[in-house]
Amino acid sequence: MNRNDLYDRKSAVRGGLQVAEAMKRSMILRQWVAGNLIRLMMNVLTSMDERNHPIEVRESLINALFGRIANVLLVGVAGFGCGVFSFERSGAILPLWCGGLGFGFVVARATLIRQFQRQLVKPDGRGLDRLTVGFGILAIASSLCWGILCFDCLALSGDPVLYTMVLVTTVASAGGVAARNAGAPRIAKLQLLTSLVPIMAGALFANDDAYSFLLLLIPALLYGLFELIAEINQQLVQSFRSELKLSRMSNIDHLTEIPNRRQFASQSAAALATCRDLRQPLSVMMIDVDFFKAFNDNYGHQAGDRCLQQVARVLRDNLRHEGDLVSRYGGEEFAVSLQNATETEAESVAARLCGAIAAAAIAHRHRDDAIDIVTVSIGVVASDRSFEGIDQLVNAADKALYAAKRSGRNKVVVARHAYPPDLAVV
């Protein structure tokens, strides 16, 4: 290879790196712009109170918003029908365009709802904002098309039949919007404003002064619908908050304020299914506080409760990330599940948990060994094809836990790949 060839290759590599860096910067810029646009639109489409709801309540409100498709499509069909009818009677192209465009926005919104129902779009964290913005833009755009159609029929057509048809259809659809979309009150109100206020403007240009009564009727109608939206929204939020409270009471251990055994079984089973789909390992740990009965008998039950609370906090604070789950399994026993954690990674986390509990230095001078602080024993297992479900993983980790206790406590024992498991002391 001569010097020129070497220089050309180096130049090509540098050029490739520069292109890759430029693409990376462009992607970061697009993500930054998209994120800021979403935040801006959220400030427009939702109130501070809506954004401050607990994430579970927001998810429930989104579920209510992305409910039935039929009523959404019916409003779109009605708008398109009015546009066609107006075109047939007056020959005006604007109502036809508005009806068709509004129907297109409705179909797009129905498609988004359908994707959500099929779980092709999942509302997790930032996804809630994207779903809300997407729904809001499409809903308000279709309502604006309907409002322009209404204005044209009232102000420009001079046809009493069109007046009547548009007014009846608008009032009926407005009630449906208020009831259906009350889960997103500001979006619902903007829909009503964009569809009803043009009627007031159209009444000013109508060829019959009698239609001026709409200047009084529409504000009264809007006020009533706004009150209806607020009342339905309040009922929904109160209902979802009550459900959330009951759910937390049934799934959270009241003493340690971490998930209980029921929640562990449910979430870990779902995590195992996800890991299998992604061909990732799921690791499970069973953890027991050493000589806890002696602690309770000598220090008292209140001190025992405080000990369990502190152990729970230490375990929770020393996991890898929020995706890891720690729960109180029963008594002084805790369980941990780690998604996408190999046997080696789980072993490392378990050793860290053992060290963190010891570092907490909770006094325990009534043990049967020479140690005078609270420690834990941990059994670890990582999933493979020999495990059919979460129960087998828990059983394998439990066997490893008891092996750790038999071998002197304050240890980690790993169940190697097999069911029934082989055990190895760490």
pTM over 0.85: no
- Which among 183, 181, 87, 92 has a CA at the least distance from the CA of 140? 181
Name the amino acid, one letter, at 314: V
The rounded distance, in Å, linking the Cα atoms of 52 and 59 is: 12
Q: What is the pLDDT of residues 225-274, one digit of tens each?
A: 999 999 999 999 999 999 888 877 888 998 999 999 999 998 898 888 88
Amino acid 412: pLDDT: 94
Amino acid 14: pLDDT: 66
Query: Helix 214-251 vs helix 261-277: angle between axes, to the nearest 10 degrees?
Result: 100
The rounded distance, in Å, linking the Cα atoms of 282 and 276 is: 9
Do the strands 412-415 and 325-330 form a parallel or antiparallel pair, or are they unpaired?
unpaired
- The parts of the chain modelled with pLDDT lower than 50 are 120-121, 418-422, 424-426
The phi-psi region of residue 300 (left if phi > 0; otherwise alpha if psi is between -120 and 50; otherwise beta) is left
CA 330, 333, 339, 343: dihedral to nearest 10 degrees?
-150
The rounded distance, in Å, linking the Cα atoms of 283 and 249 is: 27
DSSP letter at 378 equals: E
In degrees and rounded to multiples of 5, residue 388 shows phi and psi of -85, -25
**Host H or E run for residue 379:** strand 376-382
- Which among 130, 165, 129 has a CA at the least distance from the CA of 150? 165
Say if residues 336 and 319 touch (Cβ distance below 8 Å): yes
Name the amino acid, one letter, at 305: D
The rounded distance, in Å, linking the Cα atoms of 108 and 21 is: 36
Number of H helices, E strands in the chain: 14, 6
State the CB neighbour count (10 A cutoff) for residue 14.
Answer: 10
The rounded distance, in Å, linking the Cα atoms of 49 and 397 is: 45
Cα 219–184–154 angle (5° rounding)?
A: 35
Could you tell me the two tokens for 165? 């048809």
Amino acid 115: pLDDT: 81
Amino acid 158: pLDDT: 76
State the CB neighbour count (10 A cutoff) for residue 13.
Answer: 10
DSSP 243-290: HHHHHHHHHB-TTT-SB-HHHHHHHHHHHHHHHHHTT--EEEEEEEET
Amino acid 346: pLDDT: 93
Percent of the chain with pLDDT over 90: 42
SS (H, E, C) 397-420: HHHHHHHHHHCCCCCEEEECCCCC
Amino acid 12: pLDDT: 63
Peptide bond into 198 cis (omega under 30): no
